[in-house]
Every structure is written in structure tokens, then in C-alpha cells.
A and B are shown apart, each in its own frame.
Chain A
Amino acid sequence: MPSEIYLIDADGARIYLSGVGRTYTGVGTPWTAQNTSPFKLSMNEVTGNIWTPTAPEPIPIWNGGPPFALGGDLAYQGYDNVSEVVGLQGYAGLFDDAMGLGRLLRRTFGQAIARRPVILAVLPDGGSATVYFEILSARVQELPALINQEARRREPKIVRWAISWVRRPFGGALGGGATLINAVTVGNTGTGSPTNISSLGAAARGDLITAGGPLNVRALLPAGVPRELLIGTVAGRTYTANTSSLATSSTTGVVAATFNALDLSPFLTNSGLSLRLMLRATNVSTNLQVRVRAYAVNTNTPIYTSPWISATTVAASSVLLDMGGCRLPQIYRTSGTLSFTTAVTVDVRSTTGAATTGALGYVEGISAHTWAIASRWDTSGTTSIARFVELSGLPALPIPQRAESLTGTYYGPESLRGVAPLYLPGTSLYLAWRAPGTNVHVTSETATLTVTHAPLYHTLRGAE
């Protein structure tokens, strides 16, 4: 079977570019089937070069370099859209029919803004898994031979076009993403069962899974009050219970607790990880502020000092506080180090000089690849964080990250800050939620979590 290469327009109709070159007589829509399509891809120097999808070019951002360093470090890397030229031939009975074929192509590509980008489907000869790209912009240009030579030839008229198009850098599969976590119950605490960690498993596919594959996350949270979801792709999490008192009248700050229990050994082999510290406290007063300082054990200079964070605006509540974190890039290069443990000091102060109340509940030390906070103000109980389109009939391709209240009903956009979760091998999804603004946290609550993944491909796709 020959390769199948076709366009899918905004109505879902196909235009086979890899047809047999059957003559178009101005009647019907023969291009919707490969064995009747009047189009043929060019395959030689006369008709146009053989085409295969061009791999997107990485755009690296280098950090440092000569003369002060032996080469620069890769700080960031992204990919731009792909521009390429495809040679195409059309066969028609009359000149006007031939022009009609060109018009068909231009009208199809022209849907990109008013409706949606055209989809390019590519299935190589012998393959079984089609890859789909979105074409954002295209120019359809007849070759010069038409106007003074080929236009006057007898039937069939042959028109050759050079189509210059710009498409998205990656191709994907059609329809919904692959399910990685399906309606799993997760808890809102770092211990017991269910807990707030869910493995992303090993079912993800595509070329990008080691760089960060896009995930769509749907969390069905307890309804009735607005929620703020704290979510990250994490390599590990250490839970440490601690019930130290957080009472003080000091306005400058005193040490409330110190402990040495956070194992951050994943940092030894993953320079891309960030330390993240979460803190639960109970019965806190509104004048309480908390700060953490993280030290490498047996040192006295913190590797991270958080800002002072107000515990809550609701007196006597239990709260979950995101104390922030930092990267530890130098650890990666200390190859002789076999373990890495962080000591954490919790400081407290009163914003008013009156005595604060409260007690620690637990501290979580998280080694995070990504971290994001999604806040919603409706009470629907659903949060959907999307990184790719997940609609029947459309390829699962990346979009700018967003968060919405969305299940069967669309309630509205949510505030999303940070980097939405990405798939990485061997990682888990960390999930916790609290009331936005007040930080009120209920450990007995559970949520239902579903995570899907979009396999992405640089060029062609094979079944895997």
C-alpha cells in the first residue's frame, strides 16, 4: 500500500495529496479517496523533490561559555514551528478544472484563522500509525512551466505547485490522549492511604517523554467551596510529622522547630530538580507568619530561606502552606556525595505582637520537576489543567497551558501560575488542595484523579 498523505479540513473532509493523479473533470470530490484523487506528490527533480516531514530544529539557550568556561551549559530548549516546501501535481481535464484544484487547496489552508488549522496526516508505506500535524499557514504557488508550456497541452492538464507551509513542530495521534491515571482516588495528606502521590507509570509514548511530555489532568475535588490545587511532577517526597508549637509573641521571629528528616538524594543525579517545602499547621491564628530555612545537614548557612508567609485569615484553622523552594545545581556535580539530607528550621513570628496560636502538623520535602498552582473561584469541584487538545477528530497536540473548571459542563477559566505537570519517566504526580486565600486544608478529603498524555513525534510515527 502506498504512503497515505492527506489534509483534513475544518469539516473533517480529506484531501489526498498522495493520490494517483486521476484526471479531475470538474465533477464531484474525487480527492477524498486515495485511489481517485487528482493530486500526486512530486517525486523527482522535474516535478519537485521527494518530501518527508522535516524535524523541528531545537532552539537552545546557553548559559555561560568561553573564555571563562569550557563550553556553555544548556539552560533551556524549545522548538519553533517548521517551514517546508512540498511539491504537488494536479491532473485536470480543462484548464479551469486545474485552477479549481489550486483554489481548493487555497480555500482549505485559508480556514486556519476563521475556523481551525488544517491537519496534515502522514502514514508511510508499510506503517500502521498515522501522525498528524497542524498546518498554520501555507502558500500555493504554481511552477512557471504552467503558464507558457503545460497550460496549452492537451488533456490531462498538469499543474505543478510548490506549497510552502508552516506547521507546528510536533505531530501527534488523533483523538484523546493515552490514559496514564484513570479515576484514581487520591488523598489530601502526605501519609496513609490514599496519599497525595500518584505514580505516572510507564505507559507514556512518543519522542518527548524524557524531555517532558504534555499531560492533561482532571481532578474531581470535593464540591461546595472554591479550591486551590497545588500540583507538580515530582521525583520524590519525604513526609515528616512534627507537632511543635507555633506560639510566639515575637514580631522579629523565633525558631519553632528544627528537624533533619528530609532525604533529597534524587538531587544527586537530577540537576533539573527543585526542592519544594510544604508545611501543614493546625489551630493557627490570623497573626501567625511562618518561614522555613533549609540547610544541608551540618552546615549553618541556609541553601534556601523562604519569605515570611501569613498562615491564614480564618482564626483557629488548619492550613497547608507552600513555602517555596530552590534548585540545587551544584549538588549534581559533587559525584563523591552519596546521600543528601536537608535540615529544616521553622521560624514563626507575630504580625501584631499578640501571642500566636498553632502547632505544626507535618512538613513535606518535595523534589519537583514542575510546580503549579491552579485557583478557581466557583464551587463546581472540578479542576482541569490542559496542555493539549483532547477532542475527537483532532490530533492531540500541545496548546499553551491553561486551567479550567470543566467536566461535562464548562464553568470558567481558573488562575494558573507556574508550570503545569509534564510526564517524565519514573515520576509521580503530587496533588494537594486548600481554600484559596485562606489556605484552609482538610486532610480527610479525597479527590478523583484522571491523567492523560499526548504522545508527540518529531517526524514519523510507528506503533509502540
Chain B
Amino acid sequence: MIASIYGFTVNIHARTNTTALGAQIDSVGGRLESYQHTSTATFGYESATLTLTAADLDEALVWTERLLCPVLAYGPGADLIWDGYISQVELRVGDRTRSYSLDGVANRVRCRYTTVLGTPGVTAAVSNVASVALYGVRDAVISLGTLNLASAQALRDAYLVDHAFPRARPTTTLRNGDATGGGVALTLTCAGWYATLGAVMLARTDTATEATTAQLATLIGATTPGIGITNGWLDPSTVEIVATGVVATRKIEEDTSYRQAIETRLGMGSTANVRYAWGVYGARQFVVRPWAGATPGTAGYRVRLADASVMNTGGGAVELWQVRPDAMVEDSDLVSAAPPSGAVEGGGSFYVERVTFSAQRGGMELELEPSDNTNLTARLARVS
């Protein structure tokens, strides 16, 4: 148990369809065997992985019904260190694993097709109301070849039946030698709330132009075309969103996810040609600000070789679990010549794109990744 050493708390809440937290249904801080979370400069709270041992099989099976339940992790000072939801539950009993995931779930489906005359068509969307009530709207658009409308509708309906609910991904090995024993091991994989922007698609025909940051406020809002009309999990507040986005068209092509639409717009940067850092952090609030690399001489954190401590520039300790991406990190032991004017990084400092914090029985670890890191997992997380 790491909690008795480090004092972390991880609370699980009941699902709701709004930003309001449901009732707390579990707290696993005292039972964790390992904890890891990641955050990135263009996502916010990105992922968390918790491992623990279930009290028994009954408890393990309860966890499989907790997909999309909010997960809030707190540090020893009761400070929020990560906020997201359960996206996958894997339980391992001996040689058997059972995995349930929101990946692949689609409960509002349309089908694109082309008639034998070469005319493109699209079916109406059909939804599974029960699945939407549990997991919110999750869109899928399937594209098929030459079909007529009736065939496309049939395929659409079959796809919906197949994907409306999480499917078990079991691996079962039966053997009579070298069988493994042990308890019921649980691995909870969690995603940050920003990931929910990738589940819903939209199209916008309005060709008027507007600042991208103002368009973002509309896209995360609670009125059309905001995502809040279907999935109300994000705080529509714009208080942490700067208003310096470049002016661009509002038009959004068919079958574009909210995430794609938002990243296309924020990727243009500001009117001052400065890149943005963005994401969803505490209280599910969207944050957009000029990236810290815009002011490379202003260090967010200081580290040193002698120990695993992180400090702010005022000398106050920043606990490892509190470190966030989008900051310049200065290595106090590496005194280098000033980088060329206009350069973001020098020998003694770098920009942190992604942060991975982990704690297990043997200690804690903080990994700070630069913008151009070659970590495959990190890259996949950013592009997926």
C-alpha cells in the first residue's frame, strides 16, 4: 500500500451527465499498489492508471460497471492532482483477464455510402438511448462502398447493435501446469475529460469569420453548436481562455470531431504568432494560454542534480505530483551560455510538453518530456 507512505487519495464518483459530481461511491487511495498520471500541454489531464487488488471477485465485477465514473486524485495536502473518468477496467484472475473499455463504443451511428449511379448518400443517425444515458453520445460514421439506402441502413443498425455497449476483451488460458494463483488484480485506466471531445462529431456551415478562441468558447458551450447540448461534462467557463486567437472561418466539415475542430483552430496560435498550450484541468475547466516557450527566460520550475526536488523560482517546493506541463524547466546545475535571441531552449533549460508522475511502493518518479520527445506512447497520445 502506498497510501500509508504518501497519503494519496483517489475518490470515485457516480456518473452524471453534467459537470456536477455524483455521490462518492468508492475511495481507493488506501488500497493502491501503484498510481500514475500524465498531463500534456495540448490535452491537460491526459491519463491515469491505478492498480489495486480487489477484495474478492464480487468487488472486481462491480468495477466493470463503473466506466465513465469520475475519478479525482488528491495529494497529501488534499490538493487536486488529477481529474478524469474511468475509461477501461481490466481484471486479472490467475491466467484470465477481462477488459472492458469505452474504446470502440458508438451509440449514435450514421453510414455514408455511394449508389451504383455514383451518388453519395448518408443515412440518418440512429441512437441507442440506453447507452447514451450511461455513456453520453458517442458518434460513429461508417463508410461503405456501393450500396443502396436500405442496405446502408441495415449495416448501420447492425453496427449500432455491435458497438452500443462496451465489449469484453477477455483472454482465457486454461492449463494444468504452471498455473498462476494470486488475488484479483484490477487495473483502472482513466482518461482526462478532454478526451470526451473526440467522441462527438459536428458540422458547421456558417462561413462567417471569428477569433479561434471565441469559436472555442462556442464549441465547449451549452448551446448549439456546443458539445454541452449532447455531453455536458465540460465546464463552459471561458475565464481561463485567452482571447487572442487569430480570425478564421467558423465552417466545420462533416464528420469532424469537436476535438479535431478545436485543435485545428487552436493550432493556428495567437494573433502575435505565438503557439498556444491548452487542455482541460481541474473542475473540468478549459484552459488556453500562450505556451511558456513564448517567454523562455521565465522558468516555471527549477530542478537540480542532487535530489529529486522541484522548486518554483521563489524557492517554494513543488511536489512531484503537482508539476504540470507547459512550463520552462531550468536545471540549476547546468549553467550555460544564454541561448541565441529567439531560441526557446538552451543547455540549461527546456520546455515541458508532457509530465508523467508515478508512485509505487519503491518510490515516486516524475518524467518531464520535451516537445520533440520520441516516446511512442506520448506521441500516440497526442495524435490519437
Query: What is A's interface to B at a CB cutoff of 8 Å?
Result: 59, 61-65, 68-69, 72-73, 75-78, 251, 274-276, 289, 294-296, 299, 301-305, 307-308, 310, 322, 324-330, 349, 351, 368, 370-373, 377, 400-402, 413, 415-419
| Residues of B with C-beta under 8 A to A377 | 23
B317:A326 contact, CB within 8 angstroms:
yes
| Residues of A with C-beta under 8 A to B6 | 76
Assuming the contacts A299-B314, A372-B78, A401-B30, asked whether A78 and B5 have C-beta atoms less than 8 A apart, the reply is yes
- Pick from B102-110, B136-144, B300-308 the stretch touching chain A: B300-308
B77:A371 contact, CB within 8 angstroms:
yes
Q: Which of A63, A294, A296, A417 contacts B308 (CB 8 A)?
A: A63
Chain B residues numbered 203-246 whose CB sits less than 8 Å from any CB in chain A: 237, 239-240
B239:A400 contact, CB within 8 angstroms:
no
| Residues of A with C-beta under 8 A to B171 | none
Chain A, residue nearest B5 (CB) = A78
**Shortest Cβ distance from residue A419 to the other chain B in the assembled complex, whole angstroms:** 4
| Residues of B with C-beta under 8 A to A299 | 314
A418:B9 contact, CB within 8 angstroms:
yes
Q: Which of A61, A65, A400 contacts B1 (CB 8 A)?
A: A400
A78:B4 contact, CB within 8 angstroms:
yes
Closest 8 CB pairs of A and B: A64-B307, A418-B78, A400-B30, A303-B316, A417-B74, A69-B306, A327-B317, A303-B314
**Shortest Cβ distance from residue B135 to the other chain A in the assembled complex, whole angstroms:** 24
Chain A, residue nearest B55 (CB) = A113
Q: How large is the interface on B (under 10, 10 to 19, 20 to 34, 35 or more residues)?
A: 35 or more
Chain B residues numbered 104-148 whose CB sits less than 8 Å from any CB in chain A: none
Other A-B contacts than A303-B314, A303-B315, 6 sampled, CB-CB below 8 A, are: A63-B308, A301-B314, A303-B316, A304-B316, A418-B76, A419-B77
Q: Which of A76, A289, A328 contacts B317 (CB 8 A)?
A: A328
A373 to B72, CA, bound (A): 14
| Residues of B with C-beta under 8 A to A400 | 1, 3-4, 29-31
Chain A, residue nearest B75 (CB) = A418
Residue from the set B30, B239, B308 with the largest chain A CB neighbour count within 10 Å? B239
A371:B78 contact, CB within 8 angstroms:
yes
A370 to B282, CA, bound (A): 22
A184 to B4, CA, bound (A): 29
Q: Which of A327, A349, A368 contacts B316 (CB 8 A)?
A: A327
A349:B239 contact, CB within 8 angstroms:
yes
Chain B residues numbered 299-336 whose CB sits less than 8 Å from any CB in chain A: 304-309, 311-319, 333
B318:A326 contact, CB within 8 angstroms:
yes
Chain B, residue nearest A61 (CB) = B363
| Residues of B with C-beta under 8 A to A310 | 283
| Residues of A with C-beta under 8 A to B76 | 370-371, 418-419
* 17 A-B pairs whose Cβ atoms sit less than 8 Å apart in the complex: A68-B305, A68-B307, A77-B5, A251-B239, A274-B77, A299-B314, A301-B315, A326-B316, A326-B317, A326-B319, A327-B316, A372-B78, A400-B3, A401-B30, A418-B76, A418-B78, A419-B7
Query: What is B's interface to A at a CB cutoff of 8 Å?
Result: 1, 3-7, 9, 11, 23-24, 27, 29-31, 74-79, 237, 239-240, 282-283, 304-309, 311-319, 333, 362-364
A274 to B30, CA, bound (A): 22
| Residues of B with C-beta under 8 A to A62 | 363
**Shortest Cβ distance from residue B285 to the other chain A in the assembled complex, whole angstroms:** 9
Chain A, residue nearest B4 (CB) = A78
A324 to B74, CA, bound (A): 12
| Residues of B with C-beta under 8 A to A75 | 308, 363
A16 to B315, CA, bound (A): 59
| Residues of A with C-beta under 8 A to B315 | 296, 301, 303, 328, 330
**Shortest Cβ distance from residue A384 to the other chain B in the assembled complex, whole angstroms:** 15
**Shortest Cβ distance from residue A432 to the other chain B in the assembled complex, whole angstroms:** 13
A64:B1 contact, CB within 8 angstroms:
no
Chain A, residue nearest B76 (CB) = A419
B1:A351 contact, CB within 8 angstroms:
no
A218 to B308, CA, bound (A): 38
A419 to B30, CA, bound (A): 11
| Residues of B with C-beta under 8 A to A324 | 77, 79
A112 to B7, CA, bound (A): 26
B78:A295 contact, CB within 8 angstroms:
no
Chain B, residue nearest A76 (CB) = B5
A371 to B78, CA, bound (A): 7
A274 to B78, CA, bound (A): 12
**Shortest Cβ distance from residue B224 to the other chain A in the assembled complex, whole angstroms:** 22
| Residues of A with C-beta under 8 A to B30 | 400-402
**Shortest Cβ distance from residue A114 to the other chain B in the assembled complex, whole angstroms:** 12
